[in-house]
Amino acid sequence: MPIYHKLGTIPPKRHTVFNKPNGELYYEQLFGTVGFDGMASLSYHHHRPTMVKEIGKSIDIKPKIAVAENIHSRKLISFDVAPNSDYLQSRTPLLVNSDVIISVAAPSQSLTTYFYKNADADEVLFIHKGSGTLRTMFGNISFEYGDYLIIPRGIIYQINFDSSENKILITESSSPIYTPKRYRNWFGQLLEHSPYCERDYKLPENLETHDEIGDFTIKIKKQGKLHEVIYSSHPFDIVGWDGYNYPYGFSIHNFEPITGRVHQPPPVHQTFESKGFVICSFVPRLYDYHPKAIPAPYNHSNIDSDEVLYYVDGDFMSRIDIEQGHISLHPGGIPHGPHPGTYEKSIGQKETLELAVMIDTFKPLQITEEALKIEDKNYYKSWLDK
C-alpha cells in the first residue's frame, strides 16, 4: 500500500477548472480501484484519455492447462525458458488458479514499439537479472537486480532494459496487491515492527509529458485476451497527478528479516498480500540462537495452500540440487520439509545467505503445458533415503 504521492502540476482543488497556458482545459481523470472505495489517483491530461481511433485484433492468451488436479511436488527449471525479443511474448505462464498467474519471462529487447495495460490484474515483477527503467503514465522507476515492481491494474507502461539478458518472475493478481495489514496502523502507515517502511519504496519520478496526436497502439489484457487498441493521443500526456494508486518499487535487499531463538514460521517473511495469496521474501539472515535450535524448517503439512518457491541466489539450506531460477511447487494436502541430511546439517550453523521469493496460494494451482516442458520429473522422489 503506497503513500500519498504527486508529480507535475495540479490545481489547488480537485474537480475544478484547470487551464492550460493557452486558456484551454486540461482533462481530469479519476484512476481508482474497488469502485470508488479503493485507492485512487487524479491525473490531468493534455487530451481526453478516451479517444479510441481503432480497435484491432484480439489474441487469446489464456494459459493452456496440462494438469488441473495436482498432488505431487514439482521442480521447474525456469532458466530453460528461451529468451524472446517481444516483452509480452516472452511471458510464459507456469502455475495458474483463479486468483493468480505465475509466469517467468526472459525479454531480450525493450518494450518501445507499443504500450501495455493489464486491465485484469495487478502485476508484481520481480527482477532476477537485468536493470532498466519502467516507464509509465505516472512517471518512471529505475530498477535493478532484486527489485519488486508493483504495477496496479490499468497502468499503461513501457519498459526499457539496459541489456539483452533479463530474467523476471511475474505474479498477476486478480485482486489488489497490498502491504500486509498487520504491518500497518489505523491510518495505513507501516509500523515499527514492519520489516520495511515507506522510505524503502521506489516512487515514480521524472514524469514524461507528451502532447502528441497520432496513432498510439496500446495492447490491453482483458478477460484472457490481448486486445490491440489505437488511440489518437499519446498515453503519457499527463501534466500532473496526485493520490495513492500508482506503480512503485521495493528492493528485496531492503527487507529486514525477523529472527528468533527458535525457527520462525514463514509468515515472518511476508512482503505483500492479496485476497488469494501472499508473497514472501527469504533474505540473508542470522539463524536461530537457542543453544539447541535446529535452523532448518520443520516438516509441515500444506493443508490449506500451495507453496511456490522461486530460488534467486545463495545456498538454500533446506534443499539439495537447487540452482538460480529453479521453482519448487509443494501442493496442499501433503507434507513437505527439508531434504534428507539438511535438517541435521543445519544444527550449529550461524547464518544463511539464501535469497528466494515465495508465493503461497489459498487455492490449488494448475500446471500449464509450458511448465511441463521445463520440469525435473524426479523431484517428488528426492526425499527418499538413498
Which domains occur in the chain, in start order?
5-65+84-251 (2.60.120.10), 256-381 (2.60.120.10)
Residue 36 pLDDT class (50, 70, 90 cuts): confident
pLDDT at 316: 81
pLDDT at 266: 87
pLDDT at 302: 80
Q: What is the DSSP letter of 82?
A: P
Contact 201, 248 (CB under 8 A): yes
Cα 183 to Cα 258: distance, rounded to the nearest angstrom: 13
3-state DSSP: the chain helix, strand, coil percent, rounded to 5? 5, 45, 50
| Average pLDDT score over residue span 3-24 | 97
Please report, for residues 7, 78, 368, the alpha-carbon distance to residue 375 in angstroms, rounded to integers and kept in the order given: 45, 9, 11
| Average pLDDT score over residue span 124-138 | 98
pLDDT at 385: 84
Q: Residue holding cell 537457542?
A: 290
pLDDT at 196: 97
Contact 70, 235 (CB under 8 A): no
Query: pLDDT tens digit string along 248-290?
Result: 999 999 999 999 999 898 899 999 999 999 999 999 999 999 9
Query: pLDDT tens digit string along 223-241?
Result: 999 999 999 999 999 999 9
| Average pLDDT score over residue span 124-143 | 98
Q: Residue holding cell 525479454?
A: 107
pLDDT at 1 over 90: no
Cα 333 to Cα 232: distance, rounded to the nearest angstrom: 52
| Average pLDDT score over residue span 218-224 | 97
Provide the CA 31 distance to its chain's centre, in angstroms: 20
pLDDT at 309: 97
Average pLDDT over all residues of the chain: 95
- ∠ Cα 256 262 263 (to 5°): 65
Please report, for residues 285, 314, 317, 327, the alpha-carbon distance to residue 288 in angstroms, rounded to integers and kept in the order given: 9, 18, 14, 26
Please report, for residues 17, 114, 210, 216, the alpha-carbon distance to residue 26 in angstroms, rounded to integers and kept in the order given: 8, 25, 13, 20
Residue 324 pLDDT class (50, 70, 90 cuts): very high
Show Cβ contacts of residue 277 under 8 Å, excluding neighbours closer than 6 positions.
Answer: 99, 100, 173, 359, 360, 361, 362
pLDDT at 206: 96
| Average pLDDT score over residue span 204-228 | 97
Residue 33 pLDDT class (50, 70, 90 cuts): confident
Cα 170 to Cα 180: distance, rounded to the nearest angstrom: 19
pLDDT at 315 over 90: no
